[in-house]
């Protein structure tokens, strides 16, 4: 999920951003002589989320990898990399000027009111009459019907999900710090157990250098970790059922208990005081560089931090035993709760402006379908055999953990993958390592405690949510941040949420519950 600016800020930013749109985001198959476009192929423009700080498909073998993908899928690719922080605003800019819209556009998180409004205005291809053709699209056609329902507006399927494990969110922490300070989390940790760990990681000199240079929790301007922490207190995922009605979590008592806990973490210095100003493209750097010891988001991010510790170029010695490397514990749920994914994390929309014929639409869908085949899953996630990995008895043995820069050749290309029919099935055989074993065990352990959003499909049918929901969600999140940081009082916070209800969220709640009651 991406933090979005409110509409007023967006309008001002959009005008400034448009002048640099083409110059700042283009990088495609024509960027290197080794990846020369084929004249008899369709060129597909594809905007992708840059989660790697600008390092995507770069290095000696990058053109060869991209060429392999183009040849296999029979397309020329123009890849447009957009920084994680800028994706939502850039996409709204595309929507406001349809002729500039890429053929395929990546979005993070779930559907928002702005996306729904754009869909109602015909910005995106209706995929429902194409994608369930099993003969043409053997992978895409098998998407979850529940997920498809959440991406359907006015009877039109407007997006292709990026399939994800449901029990993917949780807490990861640095094992050697916890061992040194004797704050290892018990099997069923409480929020207070986590507080004690964060306090020790902040004030207990976990790295043993005698300096006050550590802060327990890594945070940036992306406040998704707060949404995860809120579930620990039983307030649900976005919305919850309360007395037979669906309500946004910020209308429930448990929400304020959770926010007070987060504010306590902030007031006690257990997260960076300037977190709201920190860009998300540096997220996880704090754990990697030894500033932070706890990371709350997807558990596979905790795995990647651990892999970073053990990579040859970045080896991080354990503070308990310097002969060993540091590691992360992928912990998962706290207090019997964590956030569930919606079955997908982000989605792709297809431009109804540029893809103005069945032939073009089917070509693009064929490309996206072929990305789910083993050869494409392998090259986009592991690079080239003999260079980035070895194949031993039909199983991939990743060698890039020895050289973190070598992975730049294919880094970011996995952002093209729909992972269909599911993230669990759409995998290539990879050598079981301690990293993947820990990740899969953490996923399985988190799954029974993962809280789903019960209102997701009903929000997609709410006219008011389509018109004003995104802006009001932003306003509620901004109030939460302002209260946590101490710029408003609790009374101001609650009054602001009441105003959000008066400004239109009351209508959203009524519309969601009409749909909810009609289907019960």
Task: Write the pLDDT tens digit of every residue in 332-390.
Answer: 999 999 999 888 989 999 999 999 999 999 999 999 999 999 999 999 999 999 999 99
Out of 90-94, 151-155, 214-218, 336-340, pick the least confident.
151-155
Burial class (CB in 10 A: 0-12, 13-18, 19+), 215: buried
pTM of the predicted protein model: 0.74
The per-residue pLDDT for range 422-438, each reduced to its tens digit, is 877 666 778 888 998 99
Q: Where does the pLDDT of residue 36 fall: very low under 50, low under 70, confident under 90, or very high at 90 and above?
A: low
Whether residue 38 has pLDDT greater than 90 = no
- Per-residue confidence (pLDDT) for residue 519, from 0 to 100: 66
Question: Which of 109, 113, 299, 332 lies closest to 222 in space, CA to CA?
Answer: 109
Tell me the average pLDDT across 16-42: 52
Cβ neighbors of 475 (< 8 A, separation 6 or more) are: 6, 496, 500
Whether residue 7 has pLDDT greater than 80 = no
CB 428 within 8 A of CB 376: no
The per-residue pLDDT for range 288-302, each reduced to its tens digit, is 999 999 999 999 999
CATH of span 169-339: 3.40.190.10
- Per-residue confidence (pLDDT) for residue 264, from 0 to 100: 98
More confident residue, 26 or 350: 350
Q: Where does the pLDDT of residue 448 fall: very low under 50, low under 70, confident under 90, or very high at 90 and above?
A: very high
Task: Pull the structure tokens for residue 18.
Answer: 């448009």
- Per-residue confidence (pLDDT) for residue 20, from 0 to 100: 37
Determine the Cα–Cα distance for residues 275 and 505; give it in Å rounded to an integer. 28
Q: What percent of the chain has pLDDT over 90?
A: 75
The per-residue pLDDT for range 299-310, each reduced to its tens digit, is 999 999 999 999
DSSP β-ladder status, 26-28 and 76-83 = antiparallel
- Per-residue confidence (pLDDT) for residue 401, from 0 to 100: 65
- Per-residue confidence (pLDDT) for residue 179, from 0 to 100: 98
- Per-residue confidence (pLDDT) for residue 425, from 0 to 100: 66
CATH of span 7-166+344-377: 3.40.190.10
What residues does CATH 3.40.190.10 cover in the chain? Answer: 7-166+344-377, 169-339
Q: Where does the pLDDT of residue 2 fall: very low under 50, low under 70, confident under 90, or very high at 90 and above?
A: very low
> In this structure, is the dihedral angle defined by the CA atoms of residues 286, 224, 88 and 158, taken in order, positive or negative?
positive
Q: Where does the pLDDT of residue 27 fall: very low under 50, low under 70, confident under 90, or very high at 90 and above?
A: very low
- Per-residue confidence (pLDDT) for residue 26, from 0 to 100: 41
Whether residue 11 has pLDDT greater than 60 = no
């Amino acid at each position: 999920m991406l933090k979005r600016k409110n509409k007023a800020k967006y309008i001002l930013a959009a005008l400034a951003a448009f002048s640099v749109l083409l110059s700042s985001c283009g990088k495609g198959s024509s960027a290197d002589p080794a990846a020369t476009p084929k004249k008899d192929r369709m060129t597909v423009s594809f905007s992708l989320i840059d989660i790697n700080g600008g390092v995507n498909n770069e290095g000696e073998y990058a053109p060869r990898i991209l060429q392999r993908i183009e040849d296999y899928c029979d397309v020329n690719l123009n890849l447009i990399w957009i920084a994680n922080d800028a994706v939502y605003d850039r996409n709204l800019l595309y929507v406001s000027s349809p002729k500039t819209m890429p053929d395929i556009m990546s979005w993070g998180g779930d559907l928002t009111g702005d996306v729904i409004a754009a869909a109602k205005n015909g910005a995106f291809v209706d995929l429902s009459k194409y994608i369930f053709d099993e003969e043409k699209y053997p992978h895409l056609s098998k998407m979850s019907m529940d997920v498809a329902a959440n991406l359907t507006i006015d009877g039109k399927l407007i997006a292709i999900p990026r399939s994800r494990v449901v029990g993917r969110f949780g807490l990861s922490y640095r094992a050697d710090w916890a061992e040194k300070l004797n704050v290892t989390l018990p099997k069923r940790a409480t929020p207070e157990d986590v507080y004690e760990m964060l306090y020790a990681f902040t004030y207990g000199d976990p790295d043993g250098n005698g300096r006050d240079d550590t802060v327990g929790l890594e945070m940036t301007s992306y406040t998704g970790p707060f949404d995860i922490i809120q579930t620990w207190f039983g307030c649900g995922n976005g919305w919850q059922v309360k007395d037979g009605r669906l309500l946004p979590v910020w209308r429930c008592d448990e929400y304020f208990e959770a926010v007070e806990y987060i504010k306590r973490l902030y007031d006690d210095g257990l997260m960076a005081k300037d977190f709201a100003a920190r860009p998300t493209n540096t997220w996880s750097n704090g754990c990697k560089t030894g500033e932070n010891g706890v990371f709350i988001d997807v558990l596979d991010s905790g795995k990647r931090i651990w892999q970073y510790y053990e990579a040859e170029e970045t080896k991080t010695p354990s503070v308990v035993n310097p002969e060993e490397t540091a590691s992360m514990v992928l912990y998962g749920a706290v207090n019997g709760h964590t956030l569930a994914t919606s079955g997908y994390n982000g989605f792709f929309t297809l431009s109804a402006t540029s893809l103005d014929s069945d032939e073009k639409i089917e070509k693009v869908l064929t490309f996206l379908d072929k990305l789910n085949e083993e050869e494409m899953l392998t090259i986009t996630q592991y690079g080239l055999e003999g260079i980035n990995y070895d194949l031993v008895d039909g199983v991939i043995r990743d060698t890039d953990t020895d050289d973190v820069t070598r992975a730049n050749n294919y880094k970011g290309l996995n952002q093209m993958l729909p992972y269909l029919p599911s993230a669990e099935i759409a995998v290539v055989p990879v050598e079981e390592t301690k990293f993947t074993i820990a990740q899969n065990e953490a996923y399985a352990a988190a799954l029974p405690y993962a809280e789903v959003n019960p209102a997701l499909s009903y929000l997609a049918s709410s006219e008011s949510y389509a018109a004003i929901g995104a802006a009001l969600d932003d306003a509620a999140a901004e109030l939460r941040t302002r209260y946590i940081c101490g710029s408003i009082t609790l009374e101001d916070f609650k009054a602001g949420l009441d105003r959000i209800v008066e400004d239109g969220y009351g209508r959203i709640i009524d519309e969601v519950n009409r749909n909810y009651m009609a289907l019960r």
